Amino acid sequence: MLFKNRELQSCYDFDQEVPDEKANLLSLAKEIYEMTDILCKYYSANEIIELYYPDLYDHKVYMDFHNVENYTWNRSVNEIQQLLYRKKINGKFQNQFSINKALDNFHVEEPKHKQEYKAYLQILYFFYFLHYFIYPKVNIFSMFNEENMSYLDSYDHSSYSSFIMYNLQSNQELLSDFCEECDYLDETMKNIDLKLRKFISSDEVCIYLSDLISEADAFVDKNKIDEDAKLTLMDYFHYYSMYTYCHDLLLNLNAYKNTLDDFKLIVFPPAHWQNLYLNLQTLDDFIMSDELYAFCKHTYRKVEVRDKIKFRDSNAVAFLKQFIYYDIDYLNENKNEEEGQFLKIIDGEVKIYALQAAVLIMLYYNLTFLKKLKLKRGKKEKEQPLRSALSISYGSSPSALEYRFFICLAHVLYEQVTHPDDLDRARRSIYLEIYSMLVYCGAYQHVTFDEIVGYFYYINKYL
């Protein structure tokens, strides 16, 4: 459903079925003409029309009536039809704009089969309203044109791409096919990650991987066309989002890969922590202990009760608990798993290793308070304090960039705490993440599932 208002529901919405008698361009143009007339009445009555799905940041999206051009309201059925679709002449698109021409830049072509053609009509319908009514001041087609796509811009474009993805995902069959693709790629990437572990930690390996990525890119067949127009479109925008995610993460990993090199362990963890696993009931007692306060705050001074209360109520402890909740959700959703990011199921009970809990708290304190580290994002490398990015009110998922970045540094710090005389061992975990992001960036420069499968095939074969 595109609009929240049920009066504006259409058979051309992604979650609906297009009847055979309406599976043609003329019927689609008539539907848009009638819908435009209804919208005009709402606009004249100064009513607001909310879209069904929000954007990436869960902000509501509304029809931007005030920026809709006057002639958009007055188009005839024939004019709408021409804007939706113009036939090719001698195999080439006409010079005039049409949505089918613009969609070609997203690798979405007119399908030959009837059922896929119905889905194609739904795409034309969606992008007509997206282009002329929802974001009339933004040229979505130019913004996401493959030639213009860059992770440097995508941070600013993410709210638009997420809105498109949310609407496509309203089709359950499509969502199921998309998830199957993602599961396949996830398994492939896990195998590649295992192979990357054989490399030592060095910048020379990055150069080698860059050369291999170039070879894989040349190997990929970029001429395959998928008949499933909606799945092709969903892949296109998903890979674009993954492209920016991997690049921004790689940017920050390279910028801060040595940020913990100067770390000095002042207060060593007590010996009994090495075999101590905490259940969620004993965690609060652990947080209020003198030993944890001294370890995280790098101090031997006497700890007052008020200090421990302030520590218990700190952002660092709140962040640890939020991470634990995420891990519990993961374990609840994956019943066969016995281990999350930091939690383990031991004798049927969820527990966290005491030293890992302590390292997470200490790292948060170290990065946000002592170093005041800032994450870089997008073309202008907009800087956002890590503290606000990791805020539990920020609404990020555990897979968000700031969390993955933090987890990577948590592994580095854990190695430094457990092996304080082996800095290379600590660096290894961050270099492995850099290697992975290099390979993933190469993958998500491609815009179709078949292209990425071909890319990973080559990488897997010669890695």
**116-151: b (≥16 Cβ within 10 Å) or e:** bbbbbbbbbbbbbbbbbbbbbeeebbebbeeeebeb
Closest to 212 measured CA to CA, from 448, 438, 452, 449: 438
**What is the pLDDT, as a whole number, of residue 395?**
45
CA distance 185 to 441: 14
Contact 61, 168 (CB under 8 A): no
**What is the pLDDT, as a whole number, of residue 147?**
65
Contact 151, 244 (CB under 8 A): yes
CA distance 235 to 226: 11
Chain-centroid distance of CA 32 in Å reads 32
Q: Which residues pair with 92 in a beta bridge?
A: 89
Residue 158: count of CB within 10 angstroms of its CB: 19
Chain-centroid distance of CA 278 in Å reads 32
**What is the pLDDT, as a whole number, of residue 154?**
56
Contact 358, 295 (CB under 8 A): yes
Q: Residue 335: left if φ>0, alpha if ψ -120 to 50, beta else—which one?
A: alpha
Please name the amino acid found at residue 28.
Answer: L
**What is the pLDDT, as a whole number, of residue 25?**
96
Q: Which helix (H) or strand (E) holds 350?
A: strand 349-353
Residue 133 gets which letter from DSSP?
A: I
Q: Which residue has the tokens 């474009």?
A: 157
For the chain, domain boundaries: 6-138, 149-259+426-463, 271-425
Residue 235 burial class via C-beta count within 10 angstroms: exposed 0-12, middle 13-18, buried 19 and up: buried
- Secondary structure in 3-state letters for 291-346: HHHHHHHCCCCCCCHHHHHHHHCCHHHHHHHHHHHHHHHHHHHCCCCCECCCEEEE
pLDDT tens across the length of the chain (463 residues): 899 998 999 999 999 999 999 999 999 999 999 999 999 999 999 999 999 998 877 789 999 999 999 999 999 999 999 999 999 888 888 889 999 999 988 889 888 888 889 999 999 999 999 999 999 998 988 888 766 555 555 556 777 888 999 999 888 888 999 999 999 999 999 999 999 988 887 888 989 999 999 999 999 987 776 678 899 999 998 888 888 888 888 989 999 998 988 888 889 999 999 889 998 888 999 999 999 999 999 888 888 999 999 999 999 999 899 888 888 888 888 877 888 888 888 888 889 999 999 999 999 999 998 899 998 876 556 778 888 878 744 444 555 788 889 999 999 999 999 988 888 888 888 999 999 999 999 999 888 899 999 999 999 999 9
Length of the chain equals: 463
Q: Which helix (H) or strand (E) holds 353?
A: strand 349-353
**What is the pLDDT, as a whole number, of residue 152?**
54
DSSP 258-291: TTTTT---SSPPPGGGGG-EEETTTHHHHHT-HH
Pairing of strands 277-279, 343-346: unpaired
DSSP 372-403: --EEEETTTTEEEEHHHHT-TTS---TTSHHH
CA distance 426 to 262: 12
Q: Which residues have C-beta within 8 Å of that of residue 165, sequence separation ≥ 6?
A: 234, 237, 238, 241
**What is the pLDDT, as a whole number, of residue 393?**
43
pTM for the model: 0.83
